[in-house]
Amino acid sequence: MEGIKLSNGVILPPVGMGTWQISDREVLARLIGTGRTQGYSLIDTAAAYSNERQIGRALAETGTIRGEIFLSDKVWNTCRGYEKTKEACKASLKKLKTDYLDLYLIHWPASSRQHPDWRELNTDTWRGMESLYREGLVRAVGVCNFQVMHLEELLKTAEIAPMVNQIEFHPGMLQEDVVSFCRQKGICVQASSPLGNGRILGNEVLAEIAGEKHRTPAQICLRYALEEGISVIPKTADVRRLAENIDIFDFSLTEEERRRIEAIPYCGGLGIDPEEGDRNG
């Protein structure tokens, strides 16, 4: 499967394994081992998921060769700032038992509702990300949940532009303004929660298109994102779903089907406002 080239030339796998809320080492080992045979290489985690150590052990137990996987991690809100960001990354590297990350992201922007100095906080945190990138500890850097206002302010001072913006993206929540801005600036969009919170899978339009294609609603959601040039990281602890989520490369959507999907109103998702997302930091 063809990857997505980031602005610095690093190739981002189009489909990855999300690990949010999965912390059992044996489950992770089973998912990683099975996923590797199915074609997965991207593993997405975060310091806030509290499973980095378990993932590191699972990778060791499955005999996974480091160069054959793409490890993505995130710095949490309590570690904002230049020095704390660098320290947080090094702590994550130790837990994952690796010398580098393929992608490192800021988990949430410092928001204007929570922090009067939000611009400075985001700028200082990004300086830490740039330093990690220059030192070779991370191959690519980016952000999560940044809206246009956050990106505009960050780009005023950034010496290296974010290469990825991971946002909630799925039918009913396409975030056209953020996606459009990222495309203009050469920032790759990556979809977290590409299946929403599961409720969207019962949507009638998705069900109809899935029936016409002899596919599942989940596969329709993921295929739509891929055709938009967006990387997806669906999360599942079920190896059967794992196979389903990556089996999306041998069909395509018609223009009419895409328009029907784009007309779906909000029908479920996490829906966390980025201006509220950093309450724990």
- Whether the per-residue pLDDT at 212 is higher than 70: the answer is yes
Segment 76-106, tens digit of pLDDT: 999 999 999 999 999 999 999 999 999 999 9
Between the CA of residue 144 and those of 114, 168, 242, what are the distances in Å? 17, 9, 23
**pLDDT value for 277:** 65
Has residue 280 got a pLDDT over 60? no
pLDDT at site 249: 97
Report, in this order, helix, strand and coil percent for the chain, each rounded to 5: 45, 15, 40
140-181 pLDDT, tens per residue? 999 999 999 999 999 999 999 999 999 999 999 999 999 999
Closest residue by Cα to residue 188 from 198, 178, 202: 178
Measured CA distances, 82 to 115, 123, 161 (Å): 17, 9, 16
Residue 26 pLDDT exceeds 50: yes
Catalytic residue flag (residue 49): yes
Angle between helices 239-246 and 217-227 (to 10 degrees): 40
Q: Which of 40, 49, 104, 224 is catalytic?
A: 49
Radius of gyration of the chain (CA): 18
Structure tokens at 84: 């704390």
For tokens 């009638």, name the residue: 204
